[in-house]
Structure 1
């Protein structure tokens, strides 16, 4: 993957270089076409010498230059001499007195190639068999005589262009490789981080990028932290679920063994009274197993928010009062010390009465079942800022600090619940029911002093 990204980046660099070369070639062609067109451009010294021919005529067999030609000579700081076939000067315009009156062929060649001591450059031209010589005084004007072979120039140009292209491509490859290594390195690190997350490795990268990808690496660290917490929670729930399955399997084996044993006894020759007794035992064990499975189903549906609430406007004060009365009417708890108190007569809230009743009874029954018979249980209802606050407190054994944070966890049994029947899901179900109503539950306890459950709706 790393080399694949590097290769793509190099390809992009090469394409960029190719486009630059192509654009440069187009620009060169445009300039060449422009300068090859018939448009007028500032004349060179040679062109100036040739253009003077338009001003030269022959009058009575003698060459003369027009006034416009003389004006052009003055503007260019130049002078002109007419020569015959023998190199003699037969006429001039603006020529200095020191100018030669005769030129040998060698002198003409020397004058054409070099400037004289007065910084005069000489140019020779011919028009209609009239030879003339133009001297231009300009220290910035210089001559370069080049002789070349056209075929060698073409070959040289082609070789030069090929060398330039190769060199440009090599430079582009080197620069592209350097930049691609620099830019793709953090991308490779990102791919590695994602692969680590895929393999459930949630370690945070200590080498943070400070460049373009800084925010991406910070987000990856946040994702790693979140996944790490979720993984820990998943493992914790998985462990607790396994423990619960183990407990349920153990609890199911006992009633199943009893049911099987008593069912076998019913098949033997026994009295009618024994048959009735064994049938009652089988029924009780079956009810316990059904309650266990019902509690498991309910807690799963509540946790996954798949339990639709049948909400009804209910007076919380009378609702809780009736629960306390129902508990007192139960023969098991009829002699217990339970009190109810309310600071108001009516407080209406929208609740699912069936689930809320089960949740509150779980709290009340826990206070009664897990404490001595002399325990005092106080239930109260009050309104605080529009919120219904239900307070259930006892002066029983209390809960240890080690058990307190886990009381509401599913499948958990505290150290003070030995030999107590139940599915181990009551407190978790009660908490989930309260939260499903948008409420909160707070549990406070001190060992040897008692426990308080505060429910806010």
Structure 2
């Protein structure tokens, strides 16, 4: 069981129940022990009282020492016990069982009885637990002897042990029931929380259409309503933002096209090098702004789901070769080598050819941008279980640990001067997610970067 609310709730209830059951059973067992012991003591005392009453006249006539054996053997005791008649000095006058000890005056129970009160002794004799009850035999107010009962506690212990087992079994059932109930109660709390947590993680990852089902109208249900309302508002604002970006991008394209067209026209007509250089800058910047607008439109369309992907059979080896051929001349100009390690047995996959090519071009463009002259870029294609894996590795400047966590976020620009609009990797991530794949980056500053794409084969 994982650490958290569930574990705390279960263990809180369980420990409380265990403590309560243990305390309850300890009290009951203690009371049972007292009950059985008091019962035995009472039974032995009653036998002593009846014996004194039956031989009252003999005791008055001071015939105890003379007729002790006859009195002891003639009387019919109703209990299974060793009975001894003892004089006022502690000497045994008669015994129903053979005994090697002739003087018992040293025992506490006999001492108490000779002083006029009933004596008790719970001890072990010859390896057996016994209870000894000793009552005084009086002539008037004078104690002339005692009658001593020694009874085994084995039967009492057996009954007590059986009752203990029953109580322990009952306690175990109660604890088990409490564990099940506390687990059920904990689930009623933690399960909705887990659902809310999972939904919140999806919302945080950008899946704004996620909604949390409301099960009960309680505090957790109120939290679900609040998160659903928040997600709805964020989704609405995201939609408005995308609409605004798309609208502004479309509006900007027309003047940019005009600027670009006139810059090219005027550049061809001008003979002044100063004006030609200025117009070249205008033309270049127009192209850069137009590229940024295209990226904004692509990202807006992908995020809102309005850009439909055309899935068809795509050969990844062929796609990679085309992307490499397109960028090899640029790599040669920069003094870079582009290497390929392609497993041509990789099957065709269902994908949007143009969008996957856009992904590869984007990643290769980044690798070329951040790898100094004399470096290399390696593209690898291989199988991994039921996935096709495309890995693009370079030995360029790499990405710092602080930037690596955020480079896939939209509009995030690294510290490098070569950083672009901050949308390229975000678009790559959106396209790969739309293909039900995974995109990851591993990098260390100064040691290069590895971009990995995993696409399902079926």
TMscore range, shorter length: 0.3 to 0.5
Normalising by structure 1, report the TM-score. Answer: 0.43
Rg (Cα) greater in structure: 1
